[in-house]
C-alpha cells in the first residue's frame, strides 16, 4: 500500500506536471530532417557554399569534412609547389601527421646526408623528392620550423590548458618567423614565414604586432596566394580584439570570399554590432561583390531572415550566385516548418510559426518574380521558376504551381533539375488526389519507391492516410502512420485491421502496411490482440476461440491467482501462466464460487485485480504499462466484488484473520476506483502542489477501510496492516 | 552579546538567588531579572550565523572593474563563483569544453577564493556512457586545477550546473558522485545547482550526491510562451514551488537574479536575448514601437544590442526589480534556512540597478 502511494504520486505528478519537469525539452532529440527536405539545395550548383546549406546542425557537412577541406587547400598549394611530383597522401603525412622527431630525421637525411633508419619516412614520396630531385633546404627548414610552432598553435587535446609560458614562446617564434621571412628567397616560403609570424603574434595576443606584421610583410606582396588570405584572417581577428569591428568584418568578408579553407572560420568570426560599423564596413568595400558578401554572411546566420539580404544583394548584383544559394536555403527553412504537417501530420513548429511562414511565402514569391524579370542565365531561370512553383505548392495552390512549372523548358533542364521536377510533379500529384483507388495507389507507390526518396515516401504515407480516412478505409489510414507498437498501445480498429489482414490479395503498398504488423503472421498477431480485448471484457468463450485460432499462446511471468498486500509490478516471479490457461482457471474458479467457496472468490478477486493496470499480471490484458499515466484496463470493481464476497464467506466460516485480509484487499481495489473517479481527480488537481493527503479519503471509496477498522481491530492482520499501509494507518488514526 | 557572557550572568544570578536574604521586594527584583536574563539567554542561544553574500561571474572574460569590486567589498563577499567553461557534446569529439574563460586579470580582490562553476549541457550527459562519464569527471577537474594554478586562483570548490532530466539522471548522478570523491580528496567542496522543480519533487527527480545544492530562483517561466510576461521571475510560480514542500535532503544556498534582458522573437521563435541594453535604450530607440507594456515591435531593420533586428521582430523586456527580489527573498526565508546567497550575476551594467545597501538588507529576512 505504501509503495502504491509512492508510485501513484509519482504517476499523477509527472502526468499533470510534465511542463515543470523538462523531460523532452532537455532530452537530446534530433529529428530526421531528410524526411522534410524536398527542394534539393545542391541545385544552386555552388558547392563552395555547401557548408552553409540549410541544416539544423551547425553546418550542412560534418565538421570532420570541413576540417579536411581546410587541409586540402594547403595540400594543393604544396603539391603545386613540388611540381606535382609527390602524392597528396604522403604530403598529408609529412605536413600533418609527422612528429618533431620525424622532422629531425628528415633534416639530417636530406640536408646533412645522414642515414635514414625509418622505413616509413624513407618510402615517403616527399622525402624522396627532396633527397633525389630537389634538395629544398628552405622548404624543409620552413616545415621543420612550423612543426616546432605546432606545440603552441595546435592543441590536440581540447581539455588541455594553454601552458603558462605559451604567450612568451609564441612571441619568440613570431619574431623568429619574421627574421626568416626577411632571409627567405622563394616567394612561396616567404609567404609562409610571413603567415606564421602574423599567426603566432595573434595567438600570443599581441594584436598590434599582428596587424603591423601583416601590413609590413604580407600586404606589400602583391599576390593572390591563398596564404595571404589566411594571414588576413588573423589580422581581422586582431582588429576585432582591438575594437575595430568594421575593418575586421570587412577583412573577414574578403577572406570568406577568397579562401575555402577559412570560409567557415571567417563566417563565424565576422561580427558587426552597430549600424555605424555596418555602414563603415560597406564603405570599405571596393566593389559590389564585396558588399554582396557582407549581406550574404549576414543572411546565412541561422537566426537571420534571408529575404531582406537577398533583396539587398539583388540591388547590387542581380546575377550574383549568392542569390541561388540563399533562395534554396530559405525554402528549405520554410519546408521544415510546413512540410511535417503534410507528411506525418505532426510538426515541430507551433501554430503561430506556421501562420507566420504562410504569410511570409507571398513576400518571397514577389521577390522571385522580380528576379525572374531580369534573370538572363537559363540555368538560374530554371531554378527560380521551380522556386516560384514550389512557393505555390507550399501555399497549397497546386494549380498555380503547375502554371509556374509549365514555364520551364524541360528539354533544357540539367539532369538534377529534371530530377527535381519529377519530385515536384509527384508532390503535386499527391496533393491533387481526391480519391485513392487501388490502381492509382499502386502506380504512385511504385513511382515513389523508385525515387528512393525518404521525404517523398513520408509525404505519400501522410497523403494516403488522409485519403483513406476520408474514404472510410480505417485500417489502411491507421497503418499508414502507425506501427504494431501503436496498435498494441492504442488498441484501435482491431476488427478493421483483422479484416484487412484477411484479404485474398494485396497491392504493394498494402503489403508494406501489413509488414508493419508482422512479416510472417500479421493476422494471427491481430487475432491475439482481439482475443486479449475479449478476455478483458469477460467474453471468455470468444476469447478462447480466437486465441486458439491465432495459434499464439504466450507464456507470461507471474501467478494471477496469488495476492500481495503490497503491489509489486516489476518483481521477478518464478511461476508462469498463459492467457489460455488463465481462461480455464477462471472457469474452474467460477464454478467453485457458485458453490460459495471463499477461496474461489478470493482467487477470482486476485485474478481480476492482478490483471488490471495495478497488478503484476497486467500483461494478461494489456501490452503496455506506463509509469506516468493509467492504462486501458483499470477497472477493479469486479475484484472488489469478489473480495467483499470472500470476506463475508470467511467471516461466516469464523476465519476472522482471512476475513480481515480480504477486507483489506477489497479496500485496495476500492481505492483504485477512487483514483479514477472525477471527484478525486478534481481534488488532486487543486491540491497538485500540496503533499497533504486528506483528499485521498473520499468516504464513498473507503467503505472497506471503515469496515476493517470497525470490525477487525483485534485481528493480527489489522495490526500488520497498520504497520504496512500508510493510508490505512492514516485513516485509522 | 556572546553566549559565554550571558551564560556567565546566568550563573551569577543563580548564585545570588541562593546567597541573599529573601525579602519580598528582593524576590520581585529577582523575578524581573530572571525574566530579563532568560530572554537574553535564549536570544543568545538563537542561531545568528551570518549569511554570506557572494556572486556568480558569468562573463567570457575575467577582469573585475572598480564598481564590481566595490559591491563585493560592501557585501563582504569572499567567494566568487566563477564560470570556468561549459561542456557540450560534439558528434565526433564527444564531450568537449567550450567557452573557456579568458583571464585578463586574475586579481579578484576583495574576493579571496573561487568556486569553479562548470555548465554542462544535458545532451552531453545523455550521450555519454558510464565510463565516459567517469573520464569526463577527471578531465573537468584536471582542467579546473590547471586553470586555477596557472592563474594563481585560490580554489575553494567546484560546482556543476546542469538541468538534468529523467533520462540523464543516472549518468548525471554518477558524474556527481565521481566529482564529489575527487573534490573530497582535494579538500574542496562540491555543489550542484538545483532547479525549483527538482527541489519540489526531489522524491521523483532524485537528489545528486553533493555537499550542497544551490537553489536557482530564476528562469522559472516559459521564455517561448506567448503570454509570458517575465520568464526570469514569476512570484506566483515561486509560491507553488515553495508550498508544502518537504525539507530538501541537501543543505541549500540560494541563487538570486540580478539581471535583465530583452527577449527577441522572430517568426514566432525566440532568437536572441539582449542583455547589453537597458529598458531606457528600448524606450529611446526610434526604430522600436511600444505595442504594450514592456513589449516593442521593430519598425525598421537595424542593429541594436549587438544583433541585427528585422522589421516585425518583437522584443519583450524582462527585469527583476529590487522590490521583487525582496519579496522573493522574504518568501524563501520563511521556508528555507540558508548560510549563503549568491547573486547572479556580477556585471557592472546590471548591479547598478540594485543599491548594495538594499542587497545587504536581504539577509535580515532570515532573522
Mean pLDDT of A396-413: 92
Q: What share of chain A is helix, strand, coil (3-state, %, to 5)?
A: 70, 0, 30
**How far A130 CA sits from the closest chain B CA (Å)?**
36
More confident residue, A479 or A698: A479
DSSP readout, B192-220? EEE-HHHHHTHHHH---S-SEEEEE-S--
The residue length of chain B stands at 367
B chain contacts of residue A357, beta-carbon cutoff 8 Å: 267
Mean pLDDT, rounded, for A329-355: 84
Q: What are phi and psi of B256, to 5 degrees?
A: -110, 145
Query: Distance between CA B80 and CA B75 in Å, rounded?
Result: 12
Segment A528-554 shows an average pLDDT of: 96
Record: contact A691-B246, CB cut-off 8 A: yes
pLDDT per residue as tens digits for the range A629-648: 888 899 999 999 999 999 99
Taking contacts as CB-CB distances below 8 angstroms, the residues of chain B near A311 are none
A525, A500 contact by CB (below 8 A): no
By Cβ distance, the residue of A26, A303, A349 closest to B272 is: A303
Q: Evaluate if residue A688 carries a pLDDT over 70.
A: no
Does any CB of chain B come closer than 8 Å to the CB of residue A273?
Answer: yes
Per-residue confidence at A36, pLDDT binned at 50, 70, 90?
A: confident
Neighbours of A558 (CB within 10 A): 22
Of the candidates A27, A63, A275, the beta carbon closest to that of B167 is on A27
Inform me whether the pLDDT recorded for A215 exceeds 90: yes
At residue A409, does pLDDT exceed 70? yes
Percentage of the residues of chain A whose pLDDT score is greater than 90: 68
One-character DSSP codes across A170-233 = HHHHHHHHHHHHHH--SHHHHHHHHHHHHHHHHHTT-HHHHHHHIIIIITTS----HHHHHHHH
Mutate to test the interface with A, among B308, B311, B315, B335 (most CBs of A within 10 A): B308
Higher pLDDT, B330 or B10: B330
Per-residue confidence at A11, pLDDT binned at 50, 70, 90?
Answer: very low
Does the pLDDT at position A199 exceed 70? yes
As given in the structure block, the three cell numbers for residue A387 are 522556386
pLDDT for res A172: 95
Closest CA to B282 of B267, B266, B260: B260
User: Which residues 48-77 of A have a C-beta within 8 angstroms of B?
Assistant: 62-64
pLDDT of amino acid A210: 98
B57-67 pLDDT, tens digit per residue, is 999 999 999 99
3-state secondary structure of B344: strand
- pLDDT, position B46: 45
- Which of residues 148 through 177 in chain A touch B, CB cutoff 8 A? 158-162, 164
ipTM: 0.84
> For residue range B219-243, what is the model confidence (pLDDT) as tens digits?
989 999 989 999 999 998 898 899 8
Confidence (pLDDT) at B27: 56
| B304, β-bridge pairs | B307
At residue A82, does pLDDT exceed 70?
yes
Rounded distance, CA A292 to CA A49, Å? Answer: 14
Question: Would the CB atoms of A21 and B205 count as touching at under 8 Å?
Answer: yes
Q: What average pLDDT does the segment A501-520 reach?
A: 95
Mean pLDDT of A50-71: 81
A275 at the B interface (CB within 8 A)? Answer: yes
Given an 8 Å threshold on Cβ–Cβ distance, is A22 in contact with B165? yes
Share of chain A above pLDDT 70, in %: 94
Closest residue to B142, CB basis, from A17, A159, A162: A159
| Minimum CA–CA partner of A690 in chain B | B244
pLDDT in the model for residue B35: 56
**pLDDT tens, residue by residue, A716-727:** 999 988 888 878
The whole-angstrom distance between residue A192's C-alpha and the CA centroid of its chain comes to: 43
pLDDT at A59: 85
Partners of residue A22 in chain B, C-beta under 8 Å: 163, 165, 197
* Better-scored residue on pLDDT, A105 or B82: B82
DSSP lists the bridge partners of residue B290 as B296
Q: Is the pLDDT of residue A10 over 70?
A: no
Would the pLDDT of A69 be above 80?
A: no
Which of A10, A164, A691 lies at the smallest CB-CB distance from B204?
Answer: A10
Closest residue in chain A to residue B270, using alpha carbons only: A303
pLDDT higher than threshold 90 for residue B284 = yes
pLDDT of A2 higher than 60: no
Q: Which of B266, B269, B282, B259 is nearest to B225 (CA)?
A: B269
> Which residues have a Cβ under 8 Å from the Cβ of A319 and sit 6 or more positions away?
A375, A376, A377, A380
B229 is written with which cell numbers? 510576461
Q: Give the closest-approach CA distance of A273 to chain B in angstroms.
A: 4
* Chain A residues within an 8 Å CB radius of B240: 689
Q: Name the fold adopted by B52-259+320-366.
A: TIM Barrel (3.20.20)
pLDDT of residue A27: 40
- Note the pLDDT of residue B234: 93
Give residue B17's pLDDT: 55
Contact yes or no for B217/B257 (Cβ under 8 A): yes
Does the distance separating the beta carbons of B146 and A28 come in below 8 Å?
no
Residue A627 has pLDDT above 70, yes or no: yes
The count of C-alpha atoms lying within 13 angstroms of the C-alpha of A485, restricted to the half-sphere facing its C-beta, is 2
Query: Per-residue pLDDT for A13 more than 50?
Result: no
In whole angstroms, what is the distance from residue A720 CA to residue A345 CA? 54
Point out which residues pair with B254 in neighbouring strands: B215, B341
DSSP codes joined into one string, A631-687: -S----HHHHHHHHHHHHHHHHTT-HHHHHHHHHHHHHHHHHHHHHSHHHHHHHHHT
Range with lowest mean pLDDT among A47-61, A510-524, B24-38? B24-38
Lowest-confidence segment of A601-605, A618-622, B242-246 by average pLDDT: B242-246
Answer yes or no: do A28 and B89 touch at CB < 8 A.
Answer: yes
Domain with CATH 3.20.20.80 in chain B: 52-259+320-366
- Higher pLDDT, residue B196 or A343: B196
Give residues with Cβ within 8 angstroms of A636, minimum separation 6.
A608, A609, A612, A614, A668, A669, A670, A672, A673
pLDDT at position A344: 67
CB contact under 8 A, A305 and B310: yes
**Cβ–Cβ below 8 Å for A353 and B126:** no
Whole-number Cα distances in Å, A352 to A348, A355, B265: 12, 5, 12
Contact A278 B303 (CB under 8 A): yes
Compute the average pLDDT of residues A45-62: 84
Q: Which three cell numbers stand for residue A496?
A: 478493421
What's chain A's average pLDDT? 89
Contact A388, A406 (CB under 8 A): no
- pLDDT surpassing 60 at residue A681: yes
Residues B16-45: pLDDT tens digits?
555 544 444 555 565 655 555 455 444 444
The yes-or-no verdict on residue A694 having pLDDT over 80 is no
- DSSP designation for A355: H
Contact A20 B197 (CB under 8 A): yes
Least confident of A16-30, A358-372, B112-126: A16-30
3-class SS of residue A375: coil
pLDDT average, residue stretch A106-130 = 90
Amino acid at each position: 500500500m505504501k509503495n502504491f502511494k509512492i508510485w501513484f504520486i509519482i504517476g499523477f505528478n509527472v502526468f499533470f506536471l510534465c511542463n515543470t519537469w523538462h523531460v523532452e525539452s532537455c532530452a537530446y532529440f534530433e529529428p530526421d530532417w531528410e524526411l522534410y527536405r524536398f527542394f534539393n539545395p545542391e541545385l544552386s550548383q555552388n558547392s563552395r557554399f555547401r557548408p552553409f546549406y540549410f541544416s539544423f546542425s551547425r553546418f550542412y557537412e560534418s565538421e570532420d569534412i570541413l576540417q579536411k577541406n581546410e587541409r586540402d587547400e594547403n595540400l594543393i598549394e604544396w603539391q603545386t609547389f613540388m611540381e606535382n611530383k609527390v602524392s597528396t597522401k604522403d604530403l598529408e603525412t609529412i605536413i600533418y601527421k609527422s612528429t618533431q622527431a620525424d622532422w629531425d630525421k628528415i633534416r639530417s637525411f636530406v640536408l646533412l646526408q645522414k642515414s635514414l633508419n625509418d622505413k616509413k619516412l624513407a618510402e615517403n614520396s616527399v622525402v624522396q623528392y627532396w633527397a633525389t630531385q630537389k634538395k629544398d633546404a628552405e622548404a624543409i627548414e620552413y616545415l621543420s620550423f612550423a612543426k616546432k610552432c605546432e606545440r603552441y598553435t595546435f592543441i590536440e587535446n581540447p581539455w588541455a590548458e594553454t601552458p603558462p609560458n605559451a604567450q612568451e614562446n609564441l612571441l619568440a617564434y613570431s619574431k623568429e618567423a619574421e627574421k626568416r621571412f626577411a632571409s627567405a628567397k622563394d616567394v612561396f616560403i616567404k609567404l609562409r614565414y610571413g603567415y606564421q609570424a602574423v599567426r603566432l603574434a595573434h595567438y600570443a595576443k599581441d594584436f598590434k604586432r599582428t596587424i603591423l606584421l601583416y601590413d609590413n610583410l604580407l600586404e606589400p606582396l602583391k599576390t593572390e596566394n591563398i596564404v595571404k588570405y589566411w594571414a588576413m584572417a588573423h589580422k581581422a581577428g586582431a582588429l576585432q580584439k582591438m575594437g575595430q569591428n568594421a575593418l575586421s568584418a570587412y577583412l573577414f568578408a574578403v577572406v570568406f570570399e577568397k579562401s575555402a579553407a577559412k570560409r567557415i572560420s571567417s563566417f563565424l568570426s565576422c561580427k558587426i554590432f552597430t549600424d555605424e560599423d555596418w555602414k563603415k564596413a560597406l564603405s570599405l568595400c571596393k566593389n559590389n561583390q564585396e558588399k554582396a558578401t557582407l549581406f550574404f554572411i549576414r543572411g546565412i546566420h541561422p537566426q537571420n531572415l534571408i529575404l531582406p539580404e537577398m533583396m539587398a544583394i539583388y540591388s547590387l548584383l542581380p546575377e550574383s550566385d549568392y542569390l541561388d544559394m540563399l533562395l534554396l536555403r530559405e525554402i528549405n527553412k520554410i519546408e521544415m516548418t510546413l512540410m511535417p504537417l503534410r507528411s506525418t501530420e505532426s510538426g515541430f513548429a507551433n501554430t503561430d510559426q506556421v501562420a507566420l511562414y504562410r504569410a511570409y511565402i507571398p513576400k518571397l514569391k514577389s521577390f522571385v518574380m522580380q528576379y525572374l524579370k531580369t534573370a538572363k542565365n537559363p540555368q538560374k531561370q530554371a531554378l527560380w521558376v521551380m522556386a516560384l512553383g514550389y512557393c505555390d505548392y507550399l501555399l497549397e495552390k497546386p494549380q498555380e504551381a503547375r502554371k509556374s512549372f509549365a514555364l520551364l523548358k524541360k528539354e533544357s533542364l540539367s539532369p538534377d533539375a529534371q530530377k527535381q521536377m519529377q519530385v515536384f510533379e509527384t508532390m503535386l500529384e499527391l496533393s491533387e488526389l481526391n480519391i485513392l483507388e487501388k490502381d492509382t495507389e499502386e502506380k504512385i507507390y511504385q513511382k515513389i519507391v523508385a525515387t528512393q526518396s525518404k521525404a517523398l515516401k513520408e509525404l505519400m504515407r501522410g497523403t494516403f492516410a488522409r485519403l483513406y480516412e476520408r474514404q472510410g478505409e480505417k485500417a489502411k489510414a491507421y497503418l499508414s502512420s502507425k506501427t504494431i507498437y501503436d496498435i498494441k498501445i492504442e488498441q484501435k480498429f482491431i476488427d478493421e485491421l483483422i479484416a484487412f489482414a484477411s484479404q485474398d490479395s494485396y497491392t504493394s503498398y498494402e503489403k508494406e502496411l501489413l509488414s508493419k504488423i508482422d512479416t510472417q503472421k500479421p493476422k494471427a498477431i491481430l487475432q491475439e490482440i482481439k482475443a486479449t480485448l475479449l478476455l478483458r471484457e469477460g467474453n471468455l468463450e470468444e476469447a478462447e476461440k480466437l486465441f486458439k485460432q491465432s495459434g499464439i499462446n504466450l507464456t507470461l511471468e507471474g501467478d494471477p491467482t496469488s495476492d500481495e498486500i503490497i503491489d509489486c509490478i516489476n518483481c521477478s516471479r518464478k511461476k508462469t501462466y498463459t492467457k489460455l490457461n488463465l481462461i480455464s482457471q477462471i472457469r474452474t474458479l467460477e464454478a467453485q464460487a457458485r458453490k460459495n467457496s471463499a477461496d474461489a472468490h478470493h482467487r477470482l478477486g486476485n485474478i481480476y485485480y492482478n490483471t488490471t493496470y495495478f497488478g503484476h499480471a497486467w500483461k494478461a490484458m494489456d501490452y503496455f504499462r506506463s509509469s506516468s499515466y493509467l492504462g486501458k484496463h483499470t477497472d477493479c470493481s469486479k475484484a472488489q466484488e469478489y473480495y467483499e464476497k470472500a470476506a463475508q464467506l470467511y467471516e461466516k466460516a469464523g476465519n476472522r484473520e482471512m476475513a480481515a485480509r480480504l477486507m483489506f484487499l477489497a479496500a485496495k481495489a476500492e481505492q483504485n476506483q477512487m483514483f479514477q473517479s472525477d471527484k478525486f481527480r478534481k481534488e488532486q488537481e487543486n491540491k497538485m502542489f500540496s503533499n497533504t493527503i486528506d483528499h485521498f479519503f473520499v468516504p464513498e471509496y473507503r467503505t472497506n477501510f471503515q469496515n476493517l477498522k470497525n470490525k477487525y481491530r483485534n485481528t493480527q492482520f489489522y495490526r500488520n496492516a497498520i504497520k504496512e499501509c500508510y493510508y490505512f494507518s492514516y485513516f485509522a488514526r | 552579546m556572546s553566549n559565554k557572557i550571558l551564560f556567565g550572568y546566568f550563573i551569577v544570578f543563580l548564585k545570588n538567588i541562593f546567597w541573599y536574604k529573601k525579602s519580598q521586594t528582593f524576590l520581585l527584583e529577582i523575578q524581573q531579572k530572571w525574566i530579563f536574563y532568560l530572554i537574553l539567554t535564549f536570544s543568545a542561544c538563537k542561531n545568528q550565523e551570518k549569511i554570506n553574500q557572494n556572486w556568480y561571474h558569468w562573463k567570457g572574460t575575467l577582469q573585475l572593474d572598480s564598481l564590481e569590486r566595490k559591491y563585493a567589498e560592501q557585501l563582504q563577499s569572499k567567494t566568487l563563483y566563477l564560470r570556468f567553461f561549459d561542456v557540450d557534446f560534439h558528434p565526433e569529439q564527444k564531450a568537449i569544453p567550450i567557452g573557456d574563460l579568458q583571464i585578463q586579470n586574475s586579481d579578484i580582490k576583495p574576493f579571496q577564493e573561487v568556486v569553479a562553476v562548470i555548465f554542462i549541457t544535458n545532451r552531453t550527459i545523455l550521450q555519454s556512457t558510464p565510463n565516459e562519464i567517469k573520464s569526463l569527471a577527471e578531465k573537468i577537474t584536471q582542467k579546473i586545477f590547471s586553470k586555477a594554478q596557472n592563474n594563481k586562483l585560490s580554489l575553494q570548490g567546484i560546482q556543476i550546473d546542469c538541468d538534468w532530466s529523467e533520462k540523464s539522471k543516472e549518468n548525471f548522478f554518477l558524474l556527481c558522485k565521481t566529482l564529489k570523491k575527487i573534490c573530497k580528496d582535494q579538500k574542496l567542496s562540491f555543489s550542484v545547482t538545483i532547479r525549483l522543480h527538482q527541489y519540489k519533487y526531489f522524491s521523483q527527480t532524485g537528489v545528486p550526491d553533493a555537499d550542497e545544492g544551490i537553489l536557482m530562483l530564476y528562469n522559472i517561466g516559459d521564455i517561448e510562451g506567448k503570454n509570458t510576461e517575465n520568464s526570469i521571475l514569476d512570484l506566483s510560480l515561486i509560491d507553488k514551488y515553495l508550498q508544502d514542500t518537504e525539507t530538501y535532503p541537501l543543505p541549500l544556498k540560494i541563487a538570486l537574479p540580478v539581471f535583465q534582458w530583452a527577449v527577441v522573437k522572430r517568426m514566432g521563435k525566440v532568437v536572441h536575448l539582449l542583455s547589453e541594453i537597458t529598458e531606457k535604450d528600448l524606450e529611446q530607440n526610434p526604430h522600436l514601437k511600444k505595442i504594450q507594456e514592456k513589449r516593442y515591435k521593430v519598425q525598421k531593420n537595424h542593429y541594436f544590442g549587438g544583433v541585427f533586428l528585422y522589421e516585425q521582430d518583437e522584443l519583450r523586456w524582462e527585469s527583476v526589480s529590487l522590490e521583487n527580489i525582496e519579496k522573493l527573498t522574504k518568501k524563501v526565508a520563511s521556508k528555507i534556512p540558508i548560510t549563503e546567497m549568491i547573486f547572479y550575476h556580477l556585471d557592472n551594467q546590471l548591479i547598478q540597478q540594485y543599491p548594495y545597501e538594499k542587497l545587504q538588507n536581504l539577509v535580515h529576512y532570515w532573522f
